[in-house]
Structure 1
Amino acid sequence: MSLPSYFLVDLPEGAPLTPQLVADACHTLRRNRELYLAHRTTSQLIGLLAELGRNWLQPDDPFRQRALQEGPAHTGFSRATLERGLDAFFGGLTESNLRRLLRQDLGEESVLDAFQPAPEPSRRVRALGPRLLVQVAAGNLPDPTLLSIILGLLVRSAQFVKCASEGSFLPRLFGHSLRALDPKLAACLELAVWPGGRQDLEDVLLREGDCVVVTGEDATVASVRARTPVTTRFLGYGHRVSFGFIAAGVLHELSLETLADRAAADVTAWDQWGCLSPHLFYVQTGADQQFPSQFAAALAAALERWETRQPRGPLRPERAALIAARRDLYAVRAACGGTTRIWNSAGSTAWTVVYEEEPDFQLSCLDRFVYVKPVTSLARALQAAEPVRLHVSTVGLAAPAAQQAALAEELAAWGVRRICPLGQMQRPPLTWHHDGRPALGDLVTWIDWECEAPTGQTSAGPPSG
């Protein structure tokens, strides 16, 4: 299946992109939105997006087939990893989930169609999305970019998506799958890629957008924010890290093998490259001082099993060298005493587990390299993770049912924005609050219409101050 040259991202490598070309594309998107998107109903868009999701789940879908066949070479993920990730994402793109998201963030889906009654009898409200939504996407995972496109379509926004140089393959296929289903709707989407440093192109894009969404490293977010006009809504999603916490006593409800398998599922999802992937697992000792090291050994065995059924993608030489160097470091430490142990795949860098009694938070080098650290309590784990507190996204929690509510409250008070069961860290529901914010709600502008009160009623309220 060959893809036509429909989006800017389809242009041959090296084709010149100019500020005027970007400006013209933005003007075309605005016009197409008025013609093909602005007047669609929310129900129509929900049905179309759900159908798109169902298409991607079909084994014979040509875009899915191409993603699985060519994806490993373009993304660095194995076919099995891509298949698992696509199934998780598109499996959640259902009509019921989209409606839940709209009700959660906006109260009711019809506020995107027309003014709706507010609690006061003389007031009505309506939500409108930006006419042109500009997105600067990260390149580590496809899910955030695809979800942002979906959210933009729901709020009736034309979209210009600037993809990362190494992250355009799946968004491009997704765009073409939308075009195959509804060419007019796809005419409200533009996808492009250009090397970093093209400030001339980015400045035009930032001037044209009514809302700018940036996902990436903190420095990227800060740079784009500084160049975005002050009158333009800006939504930035910067660097985030995640970890797991395993409470003492959980083995009364889960076997050690099940617990380790769930943790391994989180490590292997997207080869640990997502912001929701765990860098380490804190394991509470409790009465059994050997539990953390036993869990580390079980996690190593689980990662070996996962490597058999879902192998990690091949690494560039510099990535493999980084893992090898870090392994050597911990092998030396392990040989010098009993506070460090290491397990790793034989003959490859496919996976690594480091057990270390020093509790300080340690960033992983990713690609299925994970730490296990014993702690006496959740409070001790959070104290050790304090240096990254402002960057923590998700904590995967495994604990006895009777303890979960109290632990969740402790995590929330410390600053964690998402708490989920172990095994679900890289599978947030469509309704999750990204970085603690309503992803759909942040896109819209609310309009209040204070109507003329019916005869015999009053619309008087408190003074405005």
Structure 2
Amino acid sequence: MHTLERIELLDEVCKLFPETGFKGKEDLAALLELELKSLTALDEFFSYGYGKTKAIAPSQIYHVLAANTPIAGYQSLLLGLLLGSFNAVQCPKPVKNSLFRFVSSLPQKLQHKVELYDEFNINAFENSDCIVVFGQQKTIEYFKNLTPTHKRFIGHGHKVSLIWAGRVEEVNREKMALISRDISLYSQLGCLSPQSILIEENSSSEKIESFCQVLADSLRQDMSIQSQSLDIDELAAIKQHRDCAKALGWALWESSLLEPNPWTVILRKSPIFEPTCGYRTIYVDLIEKSKLEDWLKPIKGMISTVGVFEKMPENIISIFIESATSRFCPIGSMQQPAAFWHHDGRTRLQEMVRWVDWE
């Protein structure tokens, strides 16, 4: 099957699942041209330097998905199908139904290119020439050690996302609603979910308190998320973070844990980054600009996205880039990266293919 035919077949899937970031066949074609330099790079040799070259897709890709959100699985599988590879997908139980729905939506010609597995399948793994893994660092290291050096290995480990609000001059309710959306999607469990909002400490105490109160109001009123009840372990994690905040004397705004989709806003000053538990539990951290680099040290190399509330000073941008941040975006779009983003700062198709040159 040629590339153009696959693009046509995947067009409707992109429209059914806009959360992949691809609006349709135009985006798929553009990604191929951006990364592989030719729309037909997988089908035929094209001019390259003084000779010609051609991209060779993996015959089979083994995808290991994380349990927190199905979106990365949709995207990884979509890219594998775009390349024309067979896709063996190790799919944990929490996201299995979502992945099954995605696969069921595929045209018949593509459905036979996918196989879902509940657990590790040694035969499928050994028969794959490209391994793509999402998960915690220990999961990445485990599969990396299993992968022979002649096979391609692509690991996407745990990442952290933040919002830079800077100095609070005024509190805009529309912008706070956008922040609420970024926090609330996917129960705040994905790598693109903000864990902390950074405010300059020299903002007025009145403005800071107003910021937190309006954010709390926005989380309370957020109707963009599906109502869901948390299990006892998830509720216990939220309570632990709340109890810790109260013990340390940090200001806190909270809903009842008996409500669906509980939320928590915690105002703190901590010398370094400390993670949230997710489930709409957000920290508002007071930061001295001169100490931002030190505050980021625990997550240096692990920062995925920084949501920008207002214009960000160049020196602050530089600090985030030096800490290996791979994406900046406006608030409200943190969870919806563009089709052409560099996932974890890397290309998406180039890493999967190998090249054959003709001189």
The CA deviation string for residues 395-451 of structure 1, in whole angstroms up to 9 with x for no partner, is 111223xx455543442233101111111111111111111110111111111111x
**CA distance in structure 1 between the partners assigned to 2:151 and 2:224 by the alignment:** 47
Shift of 1:258: 2.2
Match of 1:234 in 2: 153
Distance 1:249 1:366, change over 3 A: closer
**Counterpart for residue 382 of structure 1:** 293
1:167 aligns to 2:83 (yes or no): no
The answer to whether the 8 A contact 1:49-1:93 is kept is no
Q: Is the 8 A contact 1:250 1:399 kept in 2?
A: no
Q: Is 1:302 aligned to 2:221, yes or no?
A: no
Q: How many residues align?
A: 357
Deviation at 1:102, TM superposition (A): 1.4
Deviations 1:78-121 (A, max 9, x none): xxxxxxxx5x415633122212211221122121221011232x
Partner of 1:137: 65
Distance 2:231 2:256 in 1: 19
Matching residue of 1:188? 113
8 A Cα contact 2:168 2:199, kept in partner: no
1:270 aligns to 2:180 (yes or no): no
1:420-459 alignment runs, 5 A limit: 420-450=329-359
Unaligned runs of 5+ in 1: 1-39, 57-85, 335-339, 451-465
Distance 1:223 1:421, change over 3 A: same
Give TM-score, length-normalised by structure 1: 0.72
Output the amino acid matched with 1:211. C
- Name the SS for the 2:337 alignment partner: coil
**Where do 1:148-167 residues align within 5 Å?**
148-167=76-95
Give the equivalent residue in structure 1 for 2:321. 412
Shift of 1:290: 3.8
**Alignment counterpart, residue 38 of structure 2, candidates 73, 97, 108:** 108
> Alpha carbons of 1:133 and 1:90: their partners in 2 closer, same or farther (altered >3 Å)?
closer
Partner secondary structure for residue 344 of structure 2? coil
Residues 261-312 of structure 1 deviation map (CA, whole Å, 9 limit, x = unaligned): 1211110011101111011111124453543332222111110111x45355
Counterpart residue number, 1:344: 254
The corresponding residue for 1:26 is none
Residue of structure 2 equivalent to 1:366: 278
Checking the alignment, whether the CA contact within 8 Å between 1:242 and 1:279 is kept in structure 2 is yes
Partner Cα separation in structure 2 for residue 386 and residue 315 of structure 1? 32
Give yes or no for contact 2:305–2:329 (8 Å, CA) kept in 1. yes
- 2:238 matched to which residue of 1? 323
**Post-superposition CA distance 1:227-264 (Å, at most 9, x none):** 1222211111111111111122674xxx5212311211
Overall identity of the aligned pairs, in %:
28
More strand by share: 2
Q: Look up the match of 1:280.
A: 196
Q: Is the 8 A contact 2:303 2:323 kept in 1?
A: no
Q: Secondary structure at the match of 1:168?
A: helix
| Residue 7 of structure 1: aligned partner | none
Alpha-carbon distance in structure 2 between the residues aligned to 1:189 and 1:315: 32
**RMSD of Structure 2 on Structure 1 (CA):** 2.0
State the one-letter code of the partner of 2:191. Answer: C
1:165 to 1:119, Cα distance in 2 relative to 1, 3 A: same
Taking the aligned partners of 2:350 and 2:101, their CA distance within structure 1 comes to 27
Structure with the bigger percentage of helix = 1
Q: Which amino acid is the alignment partner of residue 167 of structure 1?
A: V
User: Which structure 2 residue ranges, 5 or more long, are not aligned?
Assistant: none
Alignment-mate amino acid for residue 258 of structure 2 = S
Q: Secondary structure at the match of 1:167?
A: helix
* SS of equivalent residue, structure 1 residue 239: coil
Distance in 2 separating the partners of 1:302 and 1:236? 35
Contact conserved, 2:271 with 2:295, CA < 8 A, in 1? yes
After TM superposition, the score normalised by the length of structure 2 is: 0.93
CA distance in structure 2 between the aligned counterparts of 1:231 and 1:314, rounded to whole angstroms = 46
